[in-house]
Structures are given as C-alpha cells and as structure tokens.
C-alpha cells in the first residue's frame, strides 16, 4: 500500500437487526442510544481519532437515509470530528452495502477500513494494528481472537464430520483493512459471479487463491470488541459507573506588605494555621496562599474552573473571608461531580518566615479540613535560594497537587 494514499473508513449501519428486534422494541441495534448518541456514532468517534483516517462513509438503510443524514449533521455540529463524511444507502446484503460504500469513496482514497457499527468498542490501537499490517504488504487484514472452545464440523443431521484444531482457528472482528483497488476488484468479481460471503476478507482470500492478491493476515483482536448481537449484549450499552484516578494542580501567590500605605493587609495564615511574627500579606480574603492553591487543585479534579470563577476578589462578600470556606465549597462541588479526594501534596515557597516549626500543624489542619485519614496529606516548605520575588522577601507562593478518584457514568 502506498503510505501517501488516504485512508477512509466505511461504517456499516444498514443492517436490519432482526435478532434483536423483540428486545429493542423494533429499533435497529446500530441506532440504539449509547452515551446520548446513536450506537454508530461511537465507532465514528473512534475511527476519526485515528490519525491516519481521513474521512468517513456511513451506510444507512435506504428508507432512512434522509433522516440519518440530518441526524449526522446535528451530531457533527454538536461534536465536530474534523473529517469529511458522506452518507449512502445500503443494500440487501452486507456485501451490497460495502460495495455501495466503496462507490462513495473519493479518488484520493487508497486504503479502506470496513467496520460494523454493531461493534462500538473497537479501539484506536486496534485500528493502528490493522493499518500497520496492511502497510507491510498484506492483501487484507482482519483482527481475530484465538478460539478457546473445541470446534466441531458437523453435517446437516448434526453428525460430527471433523474436530477442528483450535490452534488454527480465529474468531474474526472488524474493522478490516484493504487496499481500495483490490477490494473494488473483489466486489466486481463477487457481483459478476454471484459470490455470497459474510465478510470482505473472504473475497480477498479467493483472489489470493488465484494468485491475484497477497494473503489475508490476521492481527490480534480485542476481547472488548464485541458485536451487539443478542439481548444479553444490550447490557453493555446501559450506563455503567466507572472510577478512575484524576489529578488537580493549584498555584497561588501573595505579596507581602512592604509599605505602611499598602492594603488590605492580613496576618499570615497558612493551611488555616496562623503564623506568628510573619510578614503580613496583601489579600482580599484572609490571604491563605496555601488554601488558595489547594482550592484550585480540588477544582482541577472536577473540571470546575478556578478560584477566581467562584470567589472573585471583586466580590465584597469575600473580603477577609476564611479560605477554609473556599476549600469546603470546592470540595462540595467535587463531590457533586463524583470526585473523592484521596491525598494532597502541598509545597510552600518563601524565604521568610521559617516554616519548619509549623508544618505538622498545617498538615494536621488540612487533613481535618479535607476529612482525610492521617498520612494522606504532605506539607513541604522550601526557599528559592534568595532568587526571585520570594528570595527578595517580597512575597510567598504555594503549589498543591490533589489526587482523587472520579466516578463516571460510562
């Protein structure tokens, strides 16, 4: 395959889905809802995220083409995928739908992926494996899984004719990859000679047997790349709750009061702990630089914006306010969004005052504030070796890293 040729994907969404009709109320499986969009959209998003895919062709039931085109236009407006797309009517058989999809490909397309949209969980890594094998010279590439059950070949009466060797068997999946010209040739032959096949690789296998194509290669498939086929498979489409780690980072700075006429000046407080004999800080609230950084880090864990969005220093209601309130309100927002804080690592940077004697009390205070068990919060203090504004004793800064677990509806 020429690496300069464009790769397009044909997404097959024209099937009747008769085996699931009773379980879905007559709705075709490729149009069932997943994450607030039709099932086929998940495959479109995955294929569009593959760097080498340059366009998408959707194949829909002929009677629904206009409605599905409108639906696609709305989906692309809501979530642009950054690729050109086309929609065409499908045919009576799967191979007819592929042939019609091939006819909609642009001239620049040299490589094509064919994917069943009833397999919504294929990954970008799988797409890359298929295309890499195609680059290496395969006539066609299919993902496949080793067969774990013993497979027997039987006759029409159910009699066993042969026990097949599992080591030589693979259960194949999509997307399957092909050179466009070769796949077009295969479909022309199939149409002219009346071939009946269940996948496109079967056509290329026939051409390879005649010496007209390189062999079809099987690459590793994915256990999760299942095809929605039976009523039991529908459970995979229902919202699931998954928990994953997230990290938030916060940074804040306050100037020291260096002149009598500077205001508003606040006694230094760090992590809710008063620091005696320390420079005063200029701040609208209580000026707790460490809790301000912590607030931003918590908001980072839940994509909640920053401290200025929620507690602007132009709001008189926050004048002199305890920064512990900011932390608790940010924590409430994080909880509403499914975030559970598990640890915090905090660093204070200042030339003065000396903070070593205060670190343990600050740490314990923040553990109480975050409702964490002992050992979940770490507080560090350092200088910048008399460099910068902190080294010149003009101010103080703090950074905070919060680790959390966020529960999502998948």
List the CATH number of the domain containing 190. 3.90.550.10
In this predicted structure, what is the pLDDT of residue 36? 83
Residue 105: predicted pLDDT: 97
Q: Are residues 26 and 70 in the same domain?
A: yes
Do 165 and 278 lie in one domain? The reply is no
pLDDT of residue 23: 55
Predicted pLDDT of residue 30 = 84
Please indicate, yes or no, if residue 1 is contained in any of the structural domains. Answer: no
CA-based R_g, the chain, Å:
31
Residue finishing a domain among 188, 211, 238: 238
Based on the structure, what is the number of domains in the chain? 2
Residues 96 and 119 placed together within one structural domain of the fold = yes
Helix (H) or strand (E) run with residue 233 in it: none
Does 248 lie in the same domain as 227?
no
Phi and psi for 123 in degrees, rounded to 5? -115, 165
Query: Structural domain of residue 270, as residue ranges?
Result: 242-409
**Same structural domain for residues 333 and 198?**
no
Last residue within a domain, chosen from 216, 238, 260: 238
User: Looking at the domain assignment, is residue 329 inside a domain?
Assistant: yes
- The pLDDT of residue 2: 41
The answer on 259 and 228 residing in a single domain is: no
Residues 147 and 273 in one domain: no
DSSP 259-287: STT--SEE--EETTEE-TT---EE-SS--
Residue 164 region by backbone torsions, left for phi larger than 0, else alpha for psi between -120 and 50, else beta: beta
Q: Is residue 134 part of a domain?
A: yes
Contact in structure between 342 and 301 (CB atoms under 8 Å): no
Please check whether residues 223 and 249 belong to one and the same domain: no
Q: What span, in angstroms and rounded, lies between the C-alpha atoms of 288 and 64?
A: 61
Q: Are residues 189 and 321 in the same domain?
A: no
What pLDDT does 371 receive?
92
Q: Kind of pairing, strands 241-255 and 265-266?
A: unpaired
Q: What pLDDT shows up at residue 3?
A: 44
Burial class, 384, CB count within 10 angstroms (exposed 0-12 / middle 13-18 / buried 19+): middle
What pTM value is reported for the model? 0.69
CATH of the domain at 260: 3.30.1330.50
Please check whether residue 184 is in contact with residue 102, taking contact to mean a CB–CB distance below 8 angstroms: yes
- pLDDT for 289 equals 98
pLDDT tens for the chain, 410 residues long, are 444 589 999 999 998 765 655 555 667 788 888 888 999 999 999 999 999 999 999 999 999 999 999 999 999 999 999 999 999 999 999 999 999 999 999 999 999 999 999 999 999 999 999 999 999 999 899 999 999 999 999 999 999 999 999 999 999 999 999 999 999 999 999 999 999 999 999 999 999 999 999 999 999 999 999 998 777 777 777 766 778 999 999 999 999 999 988 989 999 999 999 999 999 999 999 999 999 999 999 999 999 999 999 999 999 999 999 999 999 999 999 999 999 999 999 999 999 999 999 999 999 999 999 999 999 999 999 999 999 999 999 999 999 999 999 997 65
Pairing between β-strand 152-154 and β-strand 176-179 as defined by DSSP bridges: unpaired
- Cα 258 to Cα 188: distance, rounded to the nearest angstrom: 84
Q: Does 230 share its domain with 341?
A: no
Q: Is residue 399 part of a domain?
A: yes
Same domain for 304 and 220: no
SS3 content of the chain, % helix, strand, coil (to 5): 35, 30, 35
Domain closes at, from 238, 254, 283? 238
Measured at the CA of 291, the angle between CA 290 and CA 293, to 5 degrees, comes to 65
Residues 225 and 257 in one domain: no
């Amino acid at each position: 395959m020429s690496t300069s040729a464009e790769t397009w994907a044909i997404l097959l969404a024209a099937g009747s889905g008769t085996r699931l009709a009773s379980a879905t109320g007559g709705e075709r499986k490729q149009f069932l809802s997943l994450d607030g969009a039709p099932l086929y959209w998940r495959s479109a998003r995955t294929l569009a995220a593959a760097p080498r895919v340059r366009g998408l062709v959707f194949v829909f039931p002929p009677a629904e083409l206009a409605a599905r085109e409108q639906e696609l236009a709305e989906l692309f407006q809501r979530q642009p995928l950054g690729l050109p797309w086309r929609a065409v009517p499908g045919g009576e058989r799967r191979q007819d739908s592929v042939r019609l999809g091939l006819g909609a490909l642009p001239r620049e397309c040299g490589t094509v992926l064919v994917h069943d949209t009833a397999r919504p969980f294929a990954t970008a890594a799988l797409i890359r494996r298929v295309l890499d094998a195609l680059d290496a010279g395969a006539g066609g590439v299919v993902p496949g899984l080793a067969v774990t059950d013993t497979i027997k070949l039987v006759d029409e009466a159910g009699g066993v004719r042969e026990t097949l060797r599992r080591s030589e068997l693979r259960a194949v999946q999509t997307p399957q990859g092909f050179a466009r010209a070769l796949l077009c040739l295969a479909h022309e032959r199939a149409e002219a000679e009346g071939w009946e096949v269940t996948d496109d690789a079967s056509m290329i296998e026939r051409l390879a047997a005649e010496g007209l194509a390189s062999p079809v290669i099987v690459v590793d498939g994915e256990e999760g790349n299942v095809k929605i086929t039976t009523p039991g498979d529908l459970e995979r489409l229902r919202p699931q709750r998954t928990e994953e780690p997230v990290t938030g980072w916060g940074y804040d700075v306050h100037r020291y009061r260096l002149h009598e006429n500077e205001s508003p000046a606040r006694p230094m407080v760090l992590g809710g702990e008063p620091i005696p004999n320390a420079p005063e800080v200029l701040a609208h609230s209580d000026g707790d630089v460490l809790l301000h950084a912590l607030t931003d880090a918590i908001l980072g864990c839940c994509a909640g914006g920053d401290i200025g969005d929620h507690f602007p220093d132009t709001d008189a209601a926050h004048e002199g306010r305890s920064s512990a309130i900011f932390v608790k309100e940010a924590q409430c927002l994080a909880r509403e969004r499914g975030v559970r804080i598990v640890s915090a690592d905090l660093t204070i940077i200042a030339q003065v005052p000396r903070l070593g004697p205060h670190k343990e009390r600050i740490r314990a205070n923040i553990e109480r504030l975050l409702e964490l068990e002992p050992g979940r919060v770490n507080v560090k203090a350092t200088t910048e070796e008399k460099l910068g504004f902190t080294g010149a004793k003009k101010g103080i800064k703090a950074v905070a890293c919060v680790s959390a677990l966020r529960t999502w509806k998948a």
